[in-house]
């Protein structure tokens, strides 16, 4: 099966357009990329059975897709364009050739959709459960700055893409990483801070605030609630939006004047919502109710 | 423990010289490397409990070291210099802070020895066994070519570094990846084909021959046998050298005239041995006994 799988892989990765920005690709000890006038962005994320997916519920195509999508979300949070990926796969011994191909089909489809060339990897069988690791490489123009976890500045608006909550009902597998949005904004507007919501909106807001040494005032009523969470008729949809996690939306902070310009730009490729303001650190993380009354926000998230 | 570990990590990775060729490092969604006039080499390898190490025998420092060393060996096989690494760690739930630190100490020590800057990573706990993945990034001058698995040419000499066999007695954990040798040779001599011996000398010779579409005549008596294998008084040391695996030495092929020059160069930083010749593909993989009589070489290796 190992041999058949590698043959399949070679045939299906070569059609992905090696040669485009690759000097040497899959099959050697390493890949070689040409010299570049852009900055190189590198991010890595591993997903594992029982923690990030459940092979008894999710299809192998969905799982393969997710392994790439979570990394693309990090690339988006850097304001960068993805270009290349390397993969590592630990497959259970009982995996068949057909199962390995299903998994890789999900990987190759999303890679192709985002113009990511798979340039190498490492596949092993072992006695444990399925583990898929990916390192994504991207490019960003040296003229772009910001997009940093510690970049939030006092009086910035806190802006989020999309909506939040209930991702466990499927969105954590099917989400589109915010690559298009990130690249639209990165080329046009000065973004101070950026991160993606993997743990939960509240936890990732906390990470950003702590890194930036600021407080945040978040207005409860402005947080966009996902349709799946609305449809679930949860008694506390706000809790779902703050704590569910794996939304893979972007949190950005921008100067108020910049956000005024973004609001007037009808070409922004997805919904952006202003949910609050960057405040002095002493105020901490606060959630403001409909009367504007602040309460401390206690961050928590989905425990994998 | 997660929080304490990340604090420890931040303190111990920042002293590694971030700033040296890193625009943004650990702690954000991704790292950013500056534009480069060199080619970028990327390689990835994951090691897992029960397959590549055994936590009941090997220390966590040794295991952490190995996770980086196996990747450095691939970088050496590309004739490149390592520069950066990202790590992914899946730790068993019972792991203590102290154990996580032991593991990372082994990682950081070898990274420091080879001037590799850790620029990011991803740490998770899970119900499975320990898994450590690393993606290594390196640089190579655009003026260097060759060093490819499929680069062997008819009449080339087949040359190996170091010695082979018995790596299970400890060498698979303590080996020094052949970075120094690779960089010495890459800057001075034209190397046609190169790979490192991870599976076994016989299996990696076969990979190189198949990729290059050539045969190989290997002279049994010339294969350098490791001291540990000699000391073990194995009845068939040649079998150990051909089949044990995880030697992490380099296999190179070079034109005969180039190897004549290399032989006269007393500054080559490790032992190189001419073990045979690249032949037409039709001759296949052959091992020549002390009388020069060829027999088919049946490749096999350590089954993880």
Note whether A127 contacts B: Cβ–Cβ < 8 A: yes
Number of other CB atoms surrounding residue B296 within 10 Å: 10
Residues B98, B61 contacting (CB under 8 angstroms): no
| Per-residue pLDDT at A16 | 47
Note whether B143 contacts A: Cβ–Cβ < 8 A: no
| Per-residue pLDDT at A20 | 56
User: Quick one: closest CA in A to B25, which residue?
Assistant: A42
Distance from the B86 Cα atom to the nearest Cα atom in chain A, whole angstroms: 7
| Per-residue pLDDT at A123 | 87
Distance from the B289 Cα atom to the nearest Cα atom in chain A, whole angstroms: 30
| Per-residue pLDDT at B16 | 47
Q: How far apart are CA A302 and CA A246, in angstroms?
A: 8
Angle between helices A97-113 and A60-77 (to 10 degrees): 30
| Minimum-distance CB partner of B86 among A35, A42, A148 | A42
Note whether B128 contacts A: Cβ–Cβ < 8 A: yes
| Interface touch A36/B41, C-beta < 8 Å | no
Q: Does the pLDDT of residue B127 top 50, yes or no?
A: yes
The residues facing A241 across adjacent strands are none
pTM of the predicted protein model: 0.92
What does each of the 304 residues of chain A score in pLDDT, given as a tens digit? 667 777 787 777 754 444 457 777 777 889 999 988 999 999 999 999 988 899 999 999 999 999 999 999 999 999 999 999 999 999 999 999 999 999 999 999 999 999 999 999 888 889 999 999 999 999 999 999 999 999 999 999 999 999 999 888 888 899 999 999 999 999 999 999 999 999 999 999 999 999 999 999 999 999 999 999 998 888 899 999 999 989 999 999 999 999 999 999 999 999 999 999 999 999 999 999 999 999 999 999 865 4
| Interface touch A33/B46, C-beta < 8 Å | no
| Per-residue pLDDT at B1 | 66
| Interface touch A138/B41, C-beta < 8 Å | no
| Element housing A237 (H / E) | helix A237-243
Q: Does the pLDDT of residue B5 top 90, yes or no?
A: no
Q: What is residue A277's three-state secondary structure?
A: strand
| Per-residue pLDDT at A15 | 44
Residues B146, B229 contacting (CB under 8 angstroms): no
Note whether A117 contacts B: Cβ–Cβ < 8 A: no
B267 is written with which tokens?
Answer: 């500054």
Q: What is the band of B302 on the pLDDT scale with cuts at 50, 70, 90?
A: low
For the CA atoms of B139, B116, B26, B40, the dihedral, rounded to the nearest 10 degrees, stands at 10
Q: Mean per-residue pLDDT for B281-299?
A: 95
Domains in chain B (CATH in brackets) are 2-140 (3.30.1330.10), 157-296 (3.90.650.10)
User: Quick one: closest CA in B to A193, which residue?
Assistant: B28
Q: What is the CA radius of gyration of chain A?
A: 20
| Per-residue pLDDT at B123 | 87
- Three-state SS for chain B is CHHHHHHHHHHHHHCCCCCCCCCECCCCCCEEECCECCEEEEEEEEEEECCCECCCCCCHHHHHHHHHHHHHHHHHHCCCEEEEEEEEEEEECCCCHHHHHHHHHHHHHHHHHCCCEEEEEEEEEECCCCEEEEEEEEEECCCCCCCECCCCCCCCEEEEECCECCHHHCHHHHCCCCHHHHHHHHCCCCCCEEEECCCCHHHHHHHHHHHHCCEEEEEHHHCCECHHHHHCCCCCHHHHHHHCCCCCCEEEEECHHHHHHHHCCCCCCCCEEEEEEEECHHHCEEEECCCCCEEECCCCCCCC
| Minimum-distance CB partner of A86 among B34, B42, B78 | B42
Residues B120, B25 contacting (CB under 8 angstroms): yes
| Per-residue pLDDT at A302 | 64
A297 is written with which tokens?
Answer: 């926000």
Q: Give burial (CB, 10 Å; 0-12/13-18/19+) of B204.
A: buried
What ipTM does the predicted assembly reach?
0.88
Q: Which residue has the higher pLDDT, B19 or B61?
A: B61
Q: How far apart are CA A17 and CA A62, in angstroms?
A: 23
Contacts of A173 by beta carbon, 8 Å cutoff, 6+ apart = A53, A58, A62, A63, A65, A66
DSSP state of A176: P
DSSP state of A58: S
Q: What is the band of B166 on the pLDDT scale with cuts at 50, 70, 90?
A: confident
Q: Cβ contacts (< 8 Å) between B207 and chain A: which residues?
A: none
Say which range, A20-34, B154-168, B216-230, B240-254, has the weakest mean pLDDT.
Answer: A20-34
| Interface touch B142/A35, C-beta < 8 Å | yes
């Amino acid at each position: 099966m190992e041999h058949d799988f590698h043959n399949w892989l070679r045939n299906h990765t070569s059609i992905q357009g090696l040669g485009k920005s690759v000097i040497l690709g899959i099959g050697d000890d390493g890949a070689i990329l040409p010299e570049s006038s852009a900055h190189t962005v590198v991010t890595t994320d591993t997903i594992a059975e029982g923690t990030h997916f459940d092979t008894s519920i999710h299809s192998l195509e969905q799982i393969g897709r997710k392994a790439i999508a979570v990394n693309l979300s990090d690339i988006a949070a850097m304001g960068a364009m993805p270009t290349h990926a390397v993969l590592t796969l630990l497959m259970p011994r009982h995996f068949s050739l057909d199962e390995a191909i299903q998994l890789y089909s999900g990987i190759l489809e999303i890679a192709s959709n985002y113009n990511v060339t798979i340039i190498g990897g490492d596949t092993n069988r072992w006695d444990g459960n399925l583990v898929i690791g990916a390192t994504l490489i991207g490019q960003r123009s040296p003229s772009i700055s910001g997009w940093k976890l510690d970049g939030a500045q006092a009086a910035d608006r806190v802006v989020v893409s999309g909506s939040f909550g209930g991702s466990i009902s499927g969105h954590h597998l099917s989400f589109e990483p915010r690559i298009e949005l990130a690249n639209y904004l990165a080329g046009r507007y000065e973004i101070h801070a950026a991160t993606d919501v993997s743990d939960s909106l509240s936890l990732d807001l906390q990470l950003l605030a702590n890194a930036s040494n600021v407080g945040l005032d978040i207005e409860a009523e402005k947080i966009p609630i996902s349709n799946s969470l609305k449809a679930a008729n949860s008694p506390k949809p706000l809790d779902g939006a703050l704590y569910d996690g794996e939304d893979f939306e972007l949190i950005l902070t921008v100067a108020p004047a910049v956000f005024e310009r973004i609001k007037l730009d009808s070409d922004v490729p997805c919904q952006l919502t202003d949910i609050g303001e960057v405040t002095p650190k002493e105020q901490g993380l606060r959630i403001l109710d409909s009367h504007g009354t602040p309460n401390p926000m206690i961050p928590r998230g989905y425990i994998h």
